[in-house]
Chains A and B, each alone.
Chain A
Amino acid sequence: MGMPIEFLSVFSNVLAQAAATPNGLYAAIGAGLAAIGVGLGIGKLAASSVESIARQPEAANDIKGAMILTAAFIEGVGLFAVVVAFLAKG
């Protein structure tokens, strides 16, 4: 079963099911870790784009367009990880 299951044995009935088929639990942990990465990436993107809009408000439209576009790319990477988690689940 693995160490993580025994460590969290305080939540008994949830883990009775998860211990029998740990695939779903591991997949959910993997998807959650991917969400951490996406959050960090888009947070850094938002911080630098808002700061550059504050420095130069005339370029606001170009910066907004670039921000939405690159946010879609970073989110795409996170969704690749979610797809892998789905495939690993069952």
Chain B
Amino acid sequence: MFPGTGILAAADPMDHIADKPLFDGLLTDGSGLDRISSALYELGITKQVALFFIAGILTVLFFWSYVRQIRRAPGSVPGRWGNLVETILDTIRDQLILPFMGQSGMKFLPVLATFFVYILICNLIGLIPLLDYVGHGGNTATANYLITPALALCAFVLYHGLGIKEQGNIFTYIKNLFPHVPVVLLPLIIVIEIAAHIIRPCALAIRLCANMVAGHVMIAVLLSFTAAFTTDFLIGGGLITLISVIAVTLLTFLELLVAVVQAFVFTFLTTVFLSMAVHPDH
């Protein structure tokens, strides 16, 4: 039959977002694709990791034509694609960098724009409908509970590293990590601040992963109503299918909004932590 027919009638909605080998389920007869996917799986490259790499390449391509035009003729009017890139960069500059770090924070614009566009592209790839047919697993890279902590770790290293670089050496940075309070409160403040610094990247990771997982599981559950009802009641199953398809369409629009908002929230929090690391103003 068609490759991947098991998906829409999958018994377990969590199967819809689980991670699987790259071409799993496509051709399972020991052919070339099957052996490639098991070899890649030994290396750790599953479907979601491969999509994460592809999203990286797409992020570079996103900025490519705009950067080439601006480098060739600085100050020129951007074309249609450059207009989109400039909208994103202007939003990051006006809403994130200038309120928190002022003009001296403009040197952090490239890395924050990269975080935003990378997570946005990863989230949006997860909403492409029939990419599930390439393999059995899910295609949202940021719904993987191992990939989002990797992103949060990148943000953690970024803001601490840039804070250390801005303040000279690591001892000044550690001294500035804790607010200046009377000595009697200092042990409590140290414990609270260390706990806060550890929990912040964990919260970043869990927030992104759980939002993506929850949205896709809702879509899978509503879609599975169709299969569950139509096998028993044909006429009633038709009505349920109509309701289910309308609900899934509306949910997918909501998921588009959630994809953009979660990318923005990740970048927003990274900017806030970066501003606290670079200019501690206790």
Chain A residues at the B interface, C-beta cutoff of 8 Å: 65, 68-69, 72-73, 75-76, 79-80, 82-83
Q: Is the CB of B265 within 8 A of A69?
A: yes
Report B233 CB to chain A, min CB distance, Å. Answer: 22
A interface, over-half SS: helix
Whole-angstrom distance between the alpha carbons of A65 and B264 in the complex? 11
What 1/0 mask marks residues of chain B from 5 to 28 whose CB sits below 8 Å from any chain A CB? 000000000000000000000000
Task: Decide if B214 is an interface residue (CB 8 Å cutoff).
Answer: yes
The count of A-to-B residue pairs whose CB atoms sit within 8 angstroms is: 34
- Closest-by-CB residue of B relative to A71 is B261
- Closest-by-CB residue of A relative to B208 is A76
**Looking at the complex, which one of B210, B262, B265, B268 makes contact with A80 (CB distance below 8 Å)?**
B210
Q: Is the CB of B207 within 8 A of A65?
A: no
- Closest-by-CB residue of A relative to B209 is A83
Q: Is the CB of B262 within 8 A of A79?
A: no
Report B142 CB to chain A, min CB distance, Å. Answer: 13
- Closest-by-CB residue of A relative to B214 is A79
**Looking at the complex, which one of B95, B206, B257 makes contact with A79 (CB distance below 8 Å)?**
B206
Q: Is the CB of A72 within 8 A of B206?
A: no
Residues in A whose Cβ lies below 8 Å from that of B258: 72
Whole-angstrom distance between the alpha carbons of A64 and B226 in the complex? 36
- Closest-by-CB residue of A relative to B207 is A76
Report B123 CB to chain A, min CB distance, Å. Answer: 13
A-B pairs, top 9 by smallest CB distance, nearest first, are A79-B210, A76-B207, A72-B265, A72-B261, A83-B210, A83-B206, A68-B261, A80-B206, A79-B214
Q: With A69-B265, A76-B203, A76-B265 given, can you name 20 additional A-B contacts, CB distance below 8 Å?
A: A65-B95, A68-B257, A68-B261, A69-B261, A69-B264, A69-B268, A72-B211, A72-B265, A75-B211, A76-B206, A76-B210, A76-B211, A79-B206, A79-B210, A79-B211, A79-B214, A80-B203, A80-B207, A80-B210, A82-B210
Whole-angstrom distance between the alpha carbons of A65 and B95 in the complex? 10
What 1/0 mask marks residues of chain B from 242 to 259 whose CB sits below 8 Å from any chain A CB? 000000000000000110
Residues in B whose Cβ lies below 8 Å from that of A69: 261, 264-265, 268
What 1/0 mask marks residues of chain B from 180 to 219 whose CB sits below 8 Å from any chain A CB? 0000000000000000000000010011001100100000
Residues in B whose Cβ lies below 8 Å from that of A82: 210, 214
16 A-B pairs in the complex with CB atoms less than 8 angstroms apart: A68-B261, A69-B264, A69-B265, A72-B258, A72-B265, A75-B211, A76-B203, A76-B211, A79-B207, A79-B210, A79-B211, A80-B203, A80-B207, A80-B210, A82-B210, A83-B210
